[in-house]
Amino acid sequence: MAGRWWWLAIAPGCTPASPAVDTAPPAPSVVVAPDPADSAPRDRAAPQTAAPAVPAGLVKAAVTPENAARRALFTWTTSEQLGLLRKHRRLLFRKRGSDGSRSLYEVVIEDVDDPVTRMLRGDAFTHKRFAWANPWGTALGWGPGARYGDVMVRVVLKPEAVIAFMKVEAEAGSIQWRFATASGQPVTESEALANPERVAAVFHESVEDEDAYREYVLVNESMIASWEVATPGLAATLRSQAAELEGWAAAVGQAPTRPPWWSTLTTAWREVGPSALSHYAATLALAADHYRPEALPKLASALRAAADIDGPELVVSPRVGFGAPIPAALKPKPKPIPRCADPTFCR
């Protein structure tokens, strides 16, 4: 996410003087009757139970600012989009949401002006997809009717791919940037700017309120080594992780009612505490109540369902160049302009 030292002070030995011989007669023995109060039962402190150990898999899965560089990322999609992925074999093809809306990431990148945001506003980075470090952290979306999809896509970045980590300073209207390869090696800002073709993703977070969330924004398909859907390997991973989620339940326990769940999450996102609950919170991406520990079985079920997806396996190793245009069939079609109801106002 320091060690302690102890010193043992040893006093130098002293040789005691020879004891004086006591010649006085021994004192008579005195027997003291026990006080009945002493024999009464006394309240004893309840034995303290050690907190359950944090499972090793949960420690490894926690996502913190220090260890967020990852090669393997996971993104949910819909069956409809899966059809497009199978047909065109392009993973990043959308600039905006299906309804044309901008994400908060896009708003920040467009509103803050610095060398990095100017780079990311370039045409080569406009097509994107949102992902997370594990499948369960976003499995339920923001709630019923607000899931991102039920099809899981595993994305593996190239070892040399660079991830940009942004920390938004809202009051100053600026962004603090740092960079690392997907394998965790630090990269300077000047190096990243000089080699934009290596920038694969941006780690973005908004942690100020109850709608807090974190995400990886995939922005450069040429830095993706592979992506896969419905493969035996991915299915095995999902089933294994589902079993892990169920196994963590006893150690994680239940979240307290105070502080609010979103506050527990954002605290763990900044610094993971020693408890299993804090480690579990650090695996999540969305501050929604339906990710509370009680939801572990439901999250496990979502992963098992994704493992059982129908259809042939698909593995793609992108061969697109940096900034390559997307196929025309994947470009959003312009919405038709409605005909004027009153010709007086038509132009």
Residues 292-327: pLDDT tens digits? 999 999 999 999 999 999 889 999 999 999 999 988
Q: Are 125 and 219 in contact (CB under 8 A)?
A: yes
Let me know if residue 345 belongs to a domain. no
Cα radius of gyration (the chain): 30
pLDDT at 144: 81
Name the token pair of 143.
């709630």
What residues make up the domain containing 248?
59-316
The Cα 145–Cα 167 span in angstroms is 30
Q: Which of 200, 57, 178, 26 is CA-nearest to residue 125? A: 200
SS3 content of the chain, % helix, strand, coil (to 5): 35, 20, 50
Q: Name the residue with tokens 């800002």.
A: 189
Q: 97 pLDDT band (50/70/90 cuts)?
A: low
The Cα 55–Cα 279 span in angstroms is 9
Write out pLDDT tens, residues 132-143. Answer: 999 999 999 998
Give me the mean pLDDT over the 54-63 stretch. Answer: 96
Q: CA 231 from chain center: how many Å?
A: 24
Which DSSP symbol is given to 197? G
- The runs of H, that is alpha helices, within the chain are 36-39, 56-61, 79-88, 104-111, 115-120, 189-194, 232-252, 261-270, 276-281, 296-307
Let me know if residue 41 belongs to a domain. no
Name the token pair of 274.
């020693």
Distance between start and end Cα atoms, the chain: 63
Name the token pair of 63.
């996502």
Let me know if residue 304 belongs to a domain. yes
Name the token pair of 140.
């339920």
pLDDT at 335: 54
- The runs of H, that is alpha helices, within 115-171 are 115-120
Number of domains in the chain: 1
Let me know if residue 332 belongs to a domain. no
Q: Are 201 and 128 in contact (CB under 8 A)?
A: no
Name the token pair of 155.
């994305």
Give me the mean pLDDT over the 231-258 stretch. Answer: 95
Let me know if residue 158 belongs to a domain. yes
Beta bridge pairs of residue 217: 130, 202
Q: 75-84, 99-108, 308-317, 338-347: which range is least confident on average?
A: 338-347
Let me know if residue 248 belongs to a domain. yes
Beta bridge pairs of residue 235: none
CA atoms within 13 A on the CB side of 285: 24
Decide if pLDDT at 223 tops 90.
yes
pLDDT at 329: 74
Residue predicted with more confidence, 6 or 235 = 235
Q: 94-98, 179-183, 287-291: which range is least confident on average?
A: 94-98
pLDDT at 98: 64
Residue predicted with more confidence, 334 or 101 = 101
Q: 23 pLDDT band (50/70/90 cuts)?
A: very low
Q: Are 116 and 177 in contact (CB under 8 A)?
A: yes
Which DSSP symbol is given to 98? T
Q: 61 pLDDT band (50/70/90 cuts)?
A: very high
Task: Determine what percent of the chain is predicted with pLDDT higher than 70.
Answer: 79
pLDDT at 266: 95
Let me know if residue 9 belongs to a domain. no
Let me know if residue 283 belongs to a domain. yes
